[in-house]
Chains A and B, each alone.
Chain A
Amino acid sequence: MATDRPLRLAFDTGGTFTDLTIDGLGLYKSSTTPDDPVVGVMNVCDVAAADLGLTRRELLERASQVVYGTTRATNAVINANTAKTAMLLTTGHPDILLWREGGRIGTFDFTVQYPDPYIPRRFTYEIQERVGAAGEVVIPLDEAKTIETLQELKATGIEAVAVCFLWSILNPAHELRVGELIEEHLPGVPYTLSHVLNPSIREYRRASAAAIDASLKPLMGTFLHRLSERFAEEGFTGRVLVMTSAGGVLDNNSVAEAPIHTLASGPAAAPVAGRRFLGLDDLGDTAIVTDAGGTSFDVSLVRRGQIPWTRETKIGRSYYGPMTGFPSVDVKSVGAGGGSIAWLDGGILRVGPQSAGAVPGPACYGAGGTSATVTDACVALGYLEPSRFLNGAMPLHADLSREAIEREIAGPLGMGVEEAAAAILEVATERMINAIEDIAISQGVDPRDAVMISGGGSGGFYACAIARRLGCDQVIVPEAAAALSAVGAFISDLVADFAVTLPTSTDRFPNDEVNRVLAELGRTCEDFIAGPGSDSVEQTVSYSVEARYPQQIWDLEVPLGRSEFTEDDHIEELRQAFHGVHNEVLGIHDEGSAVETMTWRAKVRCELGTDLSGATALMAAPPEEPETREVYFSGSGFVDATIRTLASIRPDETLAGPAIIEGPATTVVVEPQATAKRLESGSLVIHPTGNA
């Protein structure tokens, strides 16, 4: 490195690899070390340091900021590897986590056991107290009995406590008091109060959020603390920020206070990167951001410059996994990736969700895997050159791929191996499209009006086909496609979200009360800017309200153009804005109706001045002899495709398909009728039907 300016490092610990980007450009990978992820983080530092001619210590001494993203919390929840946690609930309501919100998959499938509650009933305790729907105390908190319960928790060896009382969002006194009692009688035991963590209506979601959060506190608290310590030991003196599922970053310490925010934080960073790539080449404001890995395919969106959220973050399968009850960046995942296994369901070809994983992996790894996977299909079609996998670090066995496809799919269906391989890819692609449509439908985005941004190591295999099917005119494959989340983490802002519940209606709108609430939210944001955001370069505060038609059950979030309501026009403006959002998301609106509002929100965003400056690889691209290889495409059969390395393609150079573009960590397939062009930013843009 030529200059001595401070570096910013962003890490993403994924299921298979730990990624590191330095200043959003250099990209390094090292294996994830699941037992102690800090080891993997240090290893990838070594990889980067060696590349830059530094020692690990020199690298970390020069760094001013570390951003860290991890799937550790997600994995802990999925693998039930969290703390022994007690749940305290309002008397009479011990089974909130058991019942959830109902729902089931597979009408006639009676082979699936009813899911266990996130916290067992034996660790669930009823507390004598009740608040009513207007916030009034119906049953006062019985402190003596509560203390008895806490003593029992101590004897049971409980490691964390979650508290969720009915209507604590309107009157938190009982939850707060129980918090004090926990500190007094169970000193040092971490706890979560539902109204503090997630002040929203619907007791299951709030209880579930509190339960998950509390259960992660011992694990994540210790882990994040150790991570900071290790960085400090290696000479790092800067700030450690952690990615959250809100698609932003927060200080290490505040995340340790509410570790639920790290759930699914890796995928949440991808659209942050996607939005920036959109901006780099001035490609509009709406994108579908895809991140294709070995076992899963994650989809998120950028809608008119905003990253849409969901209020229903689920861990695992719908209706079966617990709901975090928390809004987060809307990410839809399907079990479809390079390792997904192709199988026959009667006469129907299926791909995934079972995955061959890293071990034994696809048949072509030669590590004993016998299943035909998507990666095997890519090998059989000639998309993947066996000798160049991972830059030649791991040669693949094409013959094993062909054998597996022949045995598992082609033979039984009576088709050729290539035909079967193309079919495998198409079915996998179809599942990905399904996920895209799912999230696009629920967020009201028409894929034909969006740019697709393709990330992830295996994204390039499917990008062109997916975009063609969805009717997207342009696919962007950024240079750093293979580490979209780490790049997103690098450029993320400090983000915090505050909410106050004040039910009103546009036909009886209490201006003063609303203005008081908005002013209060504004002050909270100012405090955040003066505190954690004090060294940020730019700050924005945006207001919104969750609104609905009278008696409607579900709210929609409406951005507010203002932080004060003074005129009647302002109220009408809100009503019209809601009609617009309702129509966009649900396809209908109720012109004559008043609009009710429920929860007022303010989101504060502090930009940390990290940005992507542009391409690196463009600097020195050695000219190369054009090469061709036989590649199979369904519809055209075997054709001669142009083979190029990414580095050799000049800005503004256009390439006609069929072509394969090989980058350091990803391979991009350009279908016969498509074209690809290199942009100034270094990204590739693909036009699936060629009409650029």
Chain B
Amino acid sequence: MAAPETRRGQAAPVLDPVQMAVVQSRLEGTVRAMIHTLLRSARSGILGVAKDFSCCILNAEDEVVASAGSIPIHVMQGPDMMARWMKRFHPDLRRGDAFLHNSPYHGNTHAADWSILVPVIDYEGVHRFTVLAKAHQGDCGNGEPTTYAINARDVYEEGALIWPCVKAQEHYRDNEDLVRTCQMRIRVPEQWWGDYLALVGSARIGERRLLELLDDLGADMLAAYGRQLFEESEQRMIEAIRWLPRARRTAVSTHDPFPRLPDGVPVRVSVDVDPDDGLITVDLRDNPDCLPVGINLSEAAARTAALIGVFNSVGNVAPIGQELKANAGSFRRVSVLVRENCCVGIPRHPHSVSAATTNLQDRVSNATMRCFSEMLDGVGLAEFGAPVPPSGAVISGTDPRTGKPFINQLQLAAAGGPGGPSTDGWLTAYSTGAAGMMYKDSVEIDEVKHPIRVLEQRILQDTAGDGRHRGAPSALVRIEAVDAAIEFMINSDGTVNHPRGVRGGHDGMPADQWVQQAGGGLRGVGAFHRETISPGDVMVSVSSSGGGYGPPWERAVADVVRDVEEGWLSRDRAMEVYGVVMNEHHRVDEIATHRLRQEIAEWGFPPAMAPTPPPASGVPGLPRLL
């Protein structure tokens, strides 16, 4: 380090590239240390296995300066608002304070994402940073045993404990009143307590390391880092937007109907690109008012949903070595227009936003990406497979092996990612908001922690949204209730309005779910449904697949052959959809392939070969598998 001390105390230090790299690595090292503590000490599967949490550092201006390894829906917008509310509610911040904040009406995503904020106060008593650790709880006290109360008419029916930035620690000591309250109101309090310890511990680790960092490098240098990072990120964003055409597009992505909303919710997103001014505008205002259900978005989730769509779309156009950085700097070039009392905008209390990080959030992100996809080949993405099939449901009950209750969200194989301009769908994407950053459950750990047996978990052939780059295929998961009744809270979008392909890419498969009864027989169950299965019954979960990008007949022949060899694609479908003719040894007939591909490109699919729309239910090969 080039003698940072010499620069300390100066009014506005300018960091050179080396110093930028040093500060960046130390801030990100701090975030990694926070993640490590939370992951390794958590008790619930959703945190300790699936890593459904994020950690970040905000500067004194409440902008996120480091969030390595985080889940985008948790951190892009929201932490900034939460830190501002902290200062408003607690103007006299002291070292040793920690605040519990999960209020979606004050900047948080949804009530299940519990955040601990710790103001980092230096030795001169000045507030320099805020560290934030945000973790999706196994249970958050909702009326129903789920952290996604989609049917809740309002926040009262939702039932979640709401903590609008309340003091959880003073002088590093727990607020015991708060702890007792939680122990009375949250299912499986021992699990909650372990997770809470992990959450607070994570934030404290971050605080400790930032104090050391302030001591080492000085506050001025660290403050300068944020300013320069944001300036540079903004410049890159401007450069990237210059690659785009001047265009305005509108796309609609429709949430499936469910009992309280029989028509579903069409989400309309308009995107305006102004390459000269380097500005992207995403308009979410032309959408319904807040709905009497739990899927409204919080402001943090609405804004982030649009930003995810933008960065997923524009990320690929940046030249190599100029990758976009998603932070307060680049966000200056994206204007997200939201309105008050809108289901994908600013929620009006007491409307419920219990499921603000999945359902409509995915619809906003997907529609945004589709707008970009229509502008130019090489940008945008197809639609992600929709969250959350029963393989990712919150399950609860009593474990007969211990006599104790359990509740946890599973993270077995779920929705796949979309095809994009340069790659196929990411298999473990899960959702737009998770972006593949979460982990996947271990079958053996799940079977220890819950009285279930995972009978089957596999990808399904011929289910990917076909395309030049195809989506990730659907996953089949079968979960048996072992010697106990298991309550599944199903919240599976995408069984009716399946994921869309773009630029000639085909649509993905819809999701579906059934119960296979112990006595035999398969019965369909609702996609938004509370279903208790009896001992010996099996929950069958099929996730939706990602949409395809670009026409399938443009897919590299070698990739089609590999998909057939690896069992992702049947030989028949390789011919019908991709126009690749091969024999049973996977040897390609190049002349026939060339001819067939030309025909398809010129004339479209011959009637007999037209891709059939995905069936409303029933997945190829499923009867055979069950």
Mask of B433-450 contacts with A, CB within 8 angstroms, 1/0? 001111110111101110
A582 contacts which chain B residues (CB < 8 A)? 41
- Please give the distance in Å from A689's CB to the nearest CB on chain B: 13
When chains A and B are docked, how far (Å) is the Cα of A48 from the Cα of B81?
Answer: 68
Binds A, one of B109-117, B191-199, B338-346, B352-360: B191-199
Taking CB atoms and an 8 Å cut-off, the chain B residues in 7-44 that contact chain A are: 16-18, 20-22, 25, 29, 32-33, 36-37, 39-44
Q: Is B90 an interface residue (CB 8 A)?
A: no
Contact of A588 with B21 in the complex, beta carbons under 8 Å: no
Chain A residue with the shortest CB-CB distance to B449: A551
Q: Inside 8 A of A132's CB, which chain B residues have their CB?
A: 447, 453, 482
B323 interface contact, C-beta 8 A: yes
Taking a contact as CB atoms under 8 Å apart, the answer to whether A346 and B18 are in contact is no
Known interface pairs A110-B420, A121-B566, A588-B37; A104-B44 also in contact (CB < 8 Å)? no
Q: Is the C-beta of A144 less than 8 angstroms from some C-beta in chain B? A: no
Question: B261-294 interface mask toward A, CB cutoff 8 Å, 1 = contact, 0 = none?
Answer: 0000000000000000000000000000000000
The answer to whether residues A103 and B436 also contact, given A121-B567, A588-B197 and a CB cut-off of 8 A, is yes
Name the segment of A18-26, A247-255, A437-445, A658-666 touching the other chain.
A437-445
Residue from B198, B324, B428 with most neighbouring chain A CB atoms (10 Å): B428
How many Å lie between the Cα of A171 and that of B417 in the bound state?
37
Question: A588 and B447: CB pair below 8 A?
Answer: no
CB-based contact A588/B201 at 8 Å? yes
Does any Cβ of A come within 8 Å of B56's Cβ?
A: no
- Tell me if B62 is interfacial: C-beta within 8 Å of chain A: no
Q: Tell me whether A191 is interfacial, beta carbon within 8 Å.
A: no
Does A430 interact with chain B (Cβ within 8 Å)?
Answer: yes
Closest to A91 in B: B456
Classify the secondary structure of B's interface with A: mixed
Taking the complex as formed, is A79 at the interface, i.e. its CB lies under 8 A from any CB of chain B? no
| B41-A586 in contact (CB<8A) | yes
Contact present for A110 and B322 (CB under 8 Å): no
Interface string of B538-578 (1 = CB under 8 A from A): 00000000000000000000000000011110000000000
Distance A144 CA – B45 CA, assembled complex (angstroms): 38
Number of residues on chain B facing chain A (CB within 8 A): 94
CB atoms of B566 and A551 under 8 A apart: no
At the interface, yes or no: A291 with Cβ under 8 Å from chain B? no
- A89-124 interface bits toward B, Cβ cutoff 8 Å, 1 = contact, 0 = none: 000111100111111101111111110000011100
Question: Across the interface, which residues of A come within 8 angstroms of B457, CB to CB?
Answer: 92-93, 95, 99
Q: B439 touching A441 by the CB < 8 A rule? A: no
Q: Is B427's CB within 8 Å of the partner chain A? A: yes
Would you call A107 and B18 a contact (CB within 8 A)?
no
A236 within 8 A of B: no
Instruction: Quote the shortest CB–CB distance from A676 to chain B (angstroms).
Output: 21
Instruction: Determine if B427 and A99 form an interchain contact, defined as CB atoms under 8 angstroms apart.
Output: yes
- A582, B440: Cα distance in complex, Å: 24
- Total CB contacts across the A-B interface at under 8 A: 224
> With A95-B458, A103-B437 in contact, is A588–B444 under 8 Å at CB?
no
Chain A count of residues within 8 A CB distance of the other chain? 72
Q: Is A343 an interface residue (CB 8 A)?
A: yes
Please tell me if A469 contacts chain B, counting CB pairs below 8 Å.
yes
CA distance A100 to B442 in the complex (A): 9
Residue B598, interface by CB 8 Å: no
Does B167 touch A at the CB level, under 8 Å?
Answer: no
Considering the chains assembled together, what is the distance between the CA atoms of A108 and B565 in angstroms?
30
Known contacts A132-B447, A201-B448; is-contact A103 B439 (Cβ 8 Å): yes
The complex places the Cα of A95 from the Cα of B565 at a distance, in Å, of 15
- Asked whether, in the complex, the Cβ of B48 is within 8 Å of the Cβ of A552, the reply is yes
A469 surroundings in chain B (CB, below 8 A): 1
Per the bound structure, the CA–CA distance linking A313 and B70 in Å amounts to 22
- CB distance B321 to A107 under 8 Å? no
Given known contacts A100-B440, A113-B423, A554 and B39 CB-to-CB distance under 8 angstroms: yes
- The A interface, classified by DSSP as helix, strand, loop or mixed, is loop
Task: Scan residues 29-79 of chain B and give those whose CB is less than 8 A from a CB of chain A.
Answer: 29, 32-33, 36-37, 39-45, 47-51, 70, 72
Residue A518 lies at the interface, judged by CB distance under 8 Å to chain B: no
Q: List, in ascending order, chain A residues with CB within 8 A of B351's CB.
A: none
Indicate which residue in A102, A204, A438, A549 contacts B43 across the interface (CB closer than 8 Å).
A549
B436 touches A108 (CB 8 A): no
A599 at interface, CB cutoff 8 A: no
Whether the Cβ atoms of B439 and A102 lie closer than 8 Å is yes
Residues of A contacting B443 in the complex (Cβ-Cβ under 8 angstroms): 93, 166, 203
Segment among B91-99, B309-317, B523-531, B615-623 that sits at the interface with chain A = B309-317
Interface flags for A70-100 (1: CB within 8 Å of B; 0: not) read: 0000000000000000000000111100111
Q: In whole angstroms, what is the CA distance A438 to B1 when docked? A: 19
Asked whether B232 lies within 8 Å of A114 as measured between CB atoms, the reply is no
Would you give the shortest CB distance from B336 to chain A, in whole angstroms? Answer: 16
B582 at the interface (CB under 8 A from A): no
Contacts of B482 in A (CB 8 A): 132
Interface string of A212-238 (1 = CB under 8 A from B): 000000000000000000000000000
Which A residues are CB-close (under 8 A) to B420?
110
Q: Contacts A107-B326, A113-B424 hold; do A349 and B22 have CB atoms under 8 A apart?
A: no
Closest to B29 in A: A437
**Does A323 count as interface, using CB distance less than 8 angstroms?**
no
A587 interfacial by beta-carbon distance below 8 Å: yes
A106 to B420, CA, bound (A): 15
A104 near B442 (CB under 8 angstroms)?
no
Instruction: Tell me if B136 counts as interface (CB < 8 A to partner A).
Output: no
Interface centre among A103, A422, A551 (most CB of B within 10 A): A551
Q: A94-B458, A99-B440, A427-B21 are in contact. Are A104 and B445 (CB under 8 A)?
A: no
In the bound assembly, the distance between CA atoms of A134 and B483 in angstroms comes to: 13
CA A436 – CA B183 in complex, angstroms? 40
Using CB atoms, name the residue of chain B closest to A139. Answer: B455
Give B425's nearest chain A residue, CB to CB. A114
Given the contacts A93-B457, A635-B3, A588 and B32 also touching, CB distance less than 8 Å? no
| Cβ–Cβ contact B198 & A588, under 8 A | yes
- Which of B25, B41, B197, B438 is within 8 Å of A433, CB to CB? B25
Which one, B3, B17, B324, contacts A348 given CB within 8 A? B17
Q: Could you tell me which residues of chain A, from 617 to 667, have a CB within 8 Å of some CB in chain B?
A: 634-635
Contact of B204 among A549, A553, A587, A593 (CB under 8 A): A587
Residue of B nearest to A549 (CB): B194
Tell whether B2 is near chain A: CB-to-CB under 8 Å. yes
Contact B17 A202 (CB under 8 A): no
* Known contacts A93-B456, A202-B445: A108-B324 contact under CB 8 Å: yes
B472 within 8 A of A: yes
> Would A553 and B422 count as touching, CB distance under 8 A?
no
Residue A344 at the B interface, CB < 8 A?
yes
Chain A residues whose CB sits within 8 angstroms of the CB of B197 once the complex forms: 588, 590
In the complex the two chains form, is B43's CB within 8 Å of A201's CB? no
| A167 at the B interface (CB under 8 A) | yes
Which B199-228 residues have a C-beta within 8 angstroms of A?
Answer: 200-201, 204-205, 208
Q: A550 within 8 Å of B by Cβ?
A: yes
Instruction: Judge whether B17 and A423 touch: CB under 8 Å.
Output: yes
How far does the alpha carbon of A549 sit from the alpha carbon of B40 in the complex, in Å?
Answer: 11
Q: A110-B420, A349-B21, A635-B3 are in contact. Are A203 and B447 (CB under 8 A)?
A: no
Interface centre among B20, B41, B425, B567, by most A CB within 10 Å?
B41
Per CB-CB distance, the 4 closest pairs between chain A and chain B, nearest first, are A553-B48, A588-B201, A92-B456, A104-B436
User: What are 7 contact pairs spanning A and B, CB under 8 A?
Assistant: A102-B436, A114-B425, A133-B448, A203-B443, A426-B1, A438-B32, A549-B43
Chain B residues in contact with chain A, CB under 8 A?
Answer: 1-3, 16-18, 20-22, 25, 29, 32-33, 36-37, 39-45, 47-51, 70, 72, 190-191, 193-194, 197-198, 200-201, 204-205, 208, 232, 235-236, 311-312, 315-316, 321-324, 326, 381, 401, 411, 413, 417, 420-428, 430, 435-440, 442-445, 447-449, 453-459, 472, 478, 482, 565-568
Which residues of A line the B interface, CB within 8 A? 92-95, 98-104, 106-114, 120-122, 130, 132-134, 138, 166-167, 201-204, 343-350, 413, 422-423, 426-427, 430-431, 433-434, 437-438, 441-442, 469, 549-554, 556, 582, 585-588, 590, 593, 634-635
